[in-house]
Amino acid sequence: MKVKKAVIPAAGFGTRFLPATKVVPKELLPIVDKPTIQYIMEEVASAGIEEVILITGREKGSIEDHFDTSTELENHLRKKGRNDLLKIVQEISEMVTLVSVRQKEPLGLGHAILCAKKIVGQEPFAVLLGDDLIDAKVPCIRQMMEVYQEMEGGLLAIQKVPKPETPLYGIIKGKKVGDRVYSVEEMVEKPEPGKAPSNLAIIGRYILPPQIFDILENVQPDRRGEIQLTDGLRELRREVPIYGYEFLGDRYDAGDKLGYLQANLSFGLRHPELGPKLKKYLKNITL
Ligand code: G1P
Q: Render pLDDT for 221-249 as a digit per residue (tens, 0 to 9).
A: 999 999 999 999 999 999 999 999 999 99
Of 111, 159, 97, the C-alpha closest to 132 is: 159
Instruction: Decide if 11 contacts 56 (C-beta within 8 A).
Output: yes
Looking at the CA of residue 255, tell me the nearest atom of ligand 1.
14
170 lines ligand 1 (CB under 6 A): yes
pLDDT for position 61 = 87
Which residue has the CA at smallest separation from atom 7 of ligand 1?
169
Q: Which domains does the chain have, with CATH numbers?
A: 5-282 (3.90.550.10)
169 lines ligand 1 (CB under 6 A): yes
Distance 59 CA to ligand 1 centre (A): 23
The one-digit pLDDT tens for each residue of the chain (287 residues) are 789 999 999 998 889 999 999 999 999 999 999 999 999 999 999 999 989 999 998 888 899 999 999 999 999 999 999 999 999 999 998 888 999 999 998 899 999 999 999 999 999 999 999 999 999 999 999 999 999 998 889 999 999 999 999 999 999 999 999 999 999 999 999 999 999 999 999 999 999 999 999 999 999 999 999 999 999 999 999 999 999 999 999 999 999 999 999 999 999 999 999 999 999 999 998 77
252 lines ligand 1 (CB under 6 A): no
pLDDT for position 108 = 94
Q: Bridge partners of 125?
A: 208
- Report the alpha-carbon distance of residue 116 to residue 210 in Å, rounded: 10
Which residue has the CA at smallest separation from atom 13 of ligand 1?
169
- Within the chain, strands assigned E span 5-10, 30-31, 34-35, 51-56, 97-102, 125-128, 132-135, 154-160, 170-178, 181-189, 200-208, 242-246, 250-253
Phi and psi, residue 62, nearest 5°: -65, -20
**Over the chain, what is the mean pLDDT?**
94
pLDDT for position 200 = 98
Exposure string for 51-73, b = 16+ CB within 10 A, e = fewer:
bbbbbbbeebeebeebbeeeeee
55 lines ligand 1 (CB under 6 A): no
206 lines ligand 1 (CB under 6 A): no
pLDDT for position 13 = 84
157 lines ligand 1 (CB under 6 A): no
pLDDT for position 3 = 94
Q: Provide the 3-class DSSP secondary structure of residue 6.
A: strand
Which residue has the CA at smallest separation from atom 11 of ligand 1?
204
